[in-house]
Amino acid sequence: MSPTCPCEIPALDPCEPLPVGFVRLRYFFGKRLGVADFADEQQYHAAKQRFHNRRLHGSGVLCGLGLALSAAAPTSLRVERGAALDRRGREVIVGSDQCIDVDAWLKAEIKSRHAVHPSDFWPTPALQGGWLRLVVVARYVECPTHPEPAPRDPCACSSDGGCDYGRVREGFKLDLVPEDEAGPLYPVEGGLYPRAVGAAASKALSGAGLRSGLGAAVSDGSDDAVADDSDGWLVLGSLRAKVESSGVTSLEILPATAPYLLSSAAEQELLMRVCAAEAEAGWMANDAPTITSLTLKTEAGSVLAFALALSGPIEASTFVPNNLVLRRLKPGVGWRSPAAGKITSVSYEPASPALVLRLRNDETPVFFEKDGLYRLALLGDPAAPVVDSQMRPLLPLRFSWSFKAAQDGTLFKPVAPFVP
């Protein structure tokens, strides 16, 4: 049997890290269950859900968790209620608005730092024009609760009974971190941020392109590649605090930096809006005729027939032969058309059905030859597209096929896709 591990270690494994596997309990009549069994049962379901969250959705804010200031308390920051997923796939639920007294936090932080390093003059070195930049972070925490009577441990030395916690409350913790110390807490670039949803959608709709627009708008989950997840902290936003001798006197919220995870419904709507903005009417017509393949064969008299196979018939009168164009790219020279008289016919053949361009290739220098670079395109007027008898447009609406010519014996055939 060959070894299961390769000799060379790949530079990057997109699935790293993965669990060894999931093991669930198997019940049978008369099975004895203990604390470990019930703990394993819970762990199985929790681990599966977190694996799903992490790999399918990534980490970021699901809803809410925005930052706001209070006019009545100029040194207090309000974190709106909301939910998020951390990098381990755990749900961080903040059920109600929370307040952070930034002035009290600063004084406690200074006291704590001076207790460890009495000569530390923080935050003076971190101030920028009297302002201290801070990052607001949240993390998942568990808190045991509901104490209950517990029977005596038969392995313990004492014969007295005791109590233990019967529930675990899944909660959260909020904190502030100086921006220059945040380090790996910041998410990867390219995420969709809570206060920039509209801007990201507008960018995608402005002609930047479907892939580039969505790529800039939706987090790709690549933060899984970060080895140190900083104990599960998730960035919610940033602010700066005006620091004077008396403490914090005012706050200013900075542009949000928390990655935002869109729901499937929101992603679908964004995708449809982008597609609708870039496509033409009819691009989603059911059972519309479609160009399915490009084939090439040699006919009598060294004539090459380029055939675009169609999935269904079209209305012949809507096809303009001059709109099916073949060009050759000569590096350093540019695009070239076949010489006059080289193209013998361009037609729609309903029996196939197919659009066929025929080219005489018997003169020197030949137009179509091995290793040549070619592009076959179907041009047209958007106001008068190629359609079938039910007015469904031929897809794709803007067709082009770039390829390199390869040789098979005496026959030429297109090799696609080809990118020079």
Which position has the higher pLDDT, 128 or 319? 319
**269: phi then psi, degrees, rounded to nearest 5:** -65, -45
Q: Which domains, and CATH codes, for the chain?
A: 57-153+162-278 (no CATH), 291-415 (2.60.40.1220)
pLDDT of residue 227: 36
Could you tell me how many helices (H) and strands (E) the chain has, helices first? Answer: 6, 19
Q: Which residues contact 27 (CB under 8 A, 6 or more apart)?
A: none
Query: Is the model's pLDDT at 351 over the cut of 90?
Result: yes
Query: Is the model's pLDDT at 308 over the cut of 80?
Result: yes
pLDDT of residue 190: 34
Mean pLDDT of all residues in 293-302: 86
**Peptide linkage before 313 cis (omega within 30 of 0):** no
Of the candidates 390, 379, 382, 387, the residue with the CA atom closest to the CA atom of residue 316: 387
Q: 51: burial class by Cβ within 10 Å (0-12, 13-18, 19+)?
A: middle
**Predicted TM-score (pTM) above 0.85:** no
CB-based contact 136:61 (threshold 8 Å): no
Distance CA 356, CA 307 (A): 4
What are the DSSP E strand ranges found in 274-339?
291-299, 303-310, 324-330, 334-336
Name the least confident of 240-244, 251-255, 257-261, 287-291. Answer: 257-261
Q: How many C-beta atoms lie closer than 10 Å to residue 172's C-beta?
A: 20
